[in-house]
């Protein structure tokens, strides 16, 4: 993940967001201008351009006189140029629609007749005390003036909108930088991970949501890197575990083919034993894969943990006697009933006991405890062996992990027993935990909720 890549992504995101933000600001400005223009050009009585001087003077005249008699002398009292210009281009009608003034004159033959509407006109109601007492009709020559007035009003509106848009865009640019930079880093890191480099990480920065995104990406990258490392180690371990039995089988069979060994049961037996070891290894790997991917089927039944512990002790009694190891169960609880698959649970406990017997010295002891505490049934397997270094305890449930890499399979096993036990326990909702004992040795506990 290079700086050039991040800058390139930042530039593209910045331009994209800038376009979107600018388009939004322009849309708002244009909408305001269009709405204002429409409002100003419309002939509504609420239009401020319609409240021109002549309308105000006419409303005042009617308010004083209470009729339109003598309205023709109104221009004589006005000095404003706009008033006289509008007066000569307008027709005044009363509330009944009768013409009072025709283009500022009361001498027209149309005075007293009903006004006939035309296509080119603009009508402005004259309102006094909330009642329409007449209307001012402006002919088509009024519209250029109205448009000019509209432009005079819209110009400051446009300037203000533009001046407001500039700081808005600048503020938006600063805000976008907070989003663009961390987002660009996440995109660049995602591309790096997709190309196969799982070491890519993102600097956690920006708003809360982007910080969560960056942190989640880092956790994902760490998990991917760890999974990839475990996969590589697993393949290497599998190759290592299979190499030894294959070498023994190949050497034995080549010796028989070359006549060094006779094809007798005594010479073939070692090769057959190695095939058994490979078969067990493959079966363990298959079981572990099914358990890890939650594809292993379980048959849940009511199980007494103490009965399982007694069964496993009987199963490993002969192996313990060969090493003069005392294998016992201490004061088991009789009613530690849990719901799980008895066969899979026996397999998990068997792996724990087998592991304890493997590392307990001759003449030592392995103890099983079954107890109830805080609504949980707990089965513990402890030994008085050398234990495990404190820093290695989190690793003992990993596939193919062995504290002493140099030790042989005969003494150390393939390193799958505890990994299988953990998967069988956790897949059924249980908890498995390992710790060193103060008096020496390793203690592994399995907890399951008691049946209600």
Domains and CATH numbers, the chain: 1-197 (no CATH), 208-292 (1.10.287.130), 301-449 (3.30.565.10)
- Beta strand 90-94 with 131-139: parallel, antiparallel or unpaired? antiparallel
66 against 235, higher pLDDT: 66
Mean pLDDT, the chain, rounded, equals: 79
Distance between CA atoms of residues 99 and 93, nearest Å: 4
Task: Name which of 46-60, 189-203, 325-339, 385-399 the model is least confident about.
Answer: 46-60
Three-state SS string over 86-109 comes to HHCCEEEEECCCEEEEECCECCCC
Give the C-alpha separation, 367 to 326, whole Å: 8
Q: What is the mean pLDDT of residues 222-246?
A: 78
pLDDT score, position 281 = 77
pLDDT at site 5:
67
pLDDT at 272 over 50: yes
In this predicted model, what pLDDT tens digit does every residue of 331-340 receive, in sequence order? 888 888 999 9
Q: Tell how strand 131-139 and strand 431-436 pair up.
A: unpaired
Give the model confidence (pLDDT) of 370-426 as tens digits: 999 888 999 999 998 888 888 888 888 877 666 554 334 444 456 678 888 898 899
pLDDT of residue 367: 92
What is the mean predicted confidence (pLDDT) over 296-321?
89
Q: What is the pLDDT of residue 250?
A: 86
Q: Kindly indicate the confidence band of residue 152, based on its pLDDT and cuts at 50, 70 and 90.
A: low
Helix (H, G, I), strand (E, B) or coil at 415: coil
β strands within 129-273, DSSP E = 131-139
pTM of the predicted structure, to 2 decimals: 0.51
Query: Percentage of residues in the chain with pLDDT exceeding 70?
Result: 81
Taking each helix axis from N to C end, the angle separating 265-292 and 208-257, rounded to the nearest 10 degrees, works out to 170
- Answer yes or no: is pLDDT of 279 > 50: yes
Q: Is 122 in contact with 115 (CB distance < 8 Å)?
A: no
- Which among 220, 190, 244 has a CA at the least distance from the CA of 413? 244
Q: Is the pLDDT of residue 260 over 90?
A: no
Identify the residue with better confidence: 250 or 24. 250
β-partners of residue 259 are none
């Amino acid at each position: 993940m290079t700086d050039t890549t991040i800058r390139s992504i930042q530039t593209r995101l910045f331009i994209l967001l800038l376009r979107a933000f600018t388009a939004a600001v322009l849309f708002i400005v244009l909408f305001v201008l269009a709405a204002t223009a429409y409002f100003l050009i419309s002939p509504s009585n609420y239009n401020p351009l319609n409240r021109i001087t002549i309308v105000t003077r006419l409303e005042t005249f009617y308010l004083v006189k209470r009729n339109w008699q003598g309205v023709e002398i109104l221009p004589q009292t006005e000095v404003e140029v706009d008033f006289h210009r509008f007066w000569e281009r307008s027709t005044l009608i009363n509330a009944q629609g009768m013409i009072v003034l025709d283009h500022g004159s009361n001498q027209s033959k149309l005075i007293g007749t009903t006004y006939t509407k035309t296509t080119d006109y603009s009508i402005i109601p004259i309102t006094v005390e909330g009642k329409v007492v007449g209307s001012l009709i402006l002919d088509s020559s009024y519209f250029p003036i109205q448009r000019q007035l509209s432009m005079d009003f819209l110009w400051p509106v446009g300037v203000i909108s533009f001046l407001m848009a500039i700081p808005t865009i600048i503020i938006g640019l600063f805000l976008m930088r907070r989003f663009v930079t961390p987002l660009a880093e996440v995109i660049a890191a995602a591309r790096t991970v997709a190309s196969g480099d799982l070491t890519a990480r993102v600097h956690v920065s920006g708003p809360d949501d982007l910080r969560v995104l960056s942190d989640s990406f880092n956790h994902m990258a760490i998990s991917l890197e760890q999974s990839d490392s475990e996969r590589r180690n697993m393949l290497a371990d599998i190759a290592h575990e299979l190499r030894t039995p294959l070498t023994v089988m190949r050497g034995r069979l080549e010796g028989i083919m070359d006549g060094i060994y006779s094809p007798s049961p005594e010479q073939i037996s070692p090769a057959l034993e190695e095939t058994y070891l490979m078969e067990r290894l493959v079966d363990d790997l298959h079981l572990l894969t099914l358990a890890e991917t939650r594809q292993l089927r379980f048959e849940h039944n009511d199980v007494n943990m103490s009965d399982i512990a007694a069964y496993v002790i009987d199963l490993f009694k002969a192996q313990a006697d060969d090493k003069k190891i005392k294998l016992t169960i201490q004061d088991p609880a009789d009613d530690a009933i849990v719901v799980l698959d008895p066969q899979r649970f026996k397999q998990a406990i068997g792996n724990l006991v087998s592991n304890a017997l493997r590392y307990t010295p001759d003449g030592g002891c392995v103890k099983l405890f079954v107890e109830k505490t805080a609504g949980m049934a707990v089965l513990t397997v402890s030994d008085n062996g050398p234990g495990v270094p404190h820093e290695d305890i989190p690793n003992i449930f990993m596939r193919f992990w062995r504290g002493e890499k140099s030790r042989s399979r005969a003494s150390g096993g393939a390193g799958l027993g505890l990994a299988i036990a953990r998967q069988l326990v956790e897949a059924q909702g249980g908890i498995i935990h390992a710790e060193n004992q103060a008096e020496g040795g390793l203690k592994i506990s399995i907890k399951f909720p008691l049946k209600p």
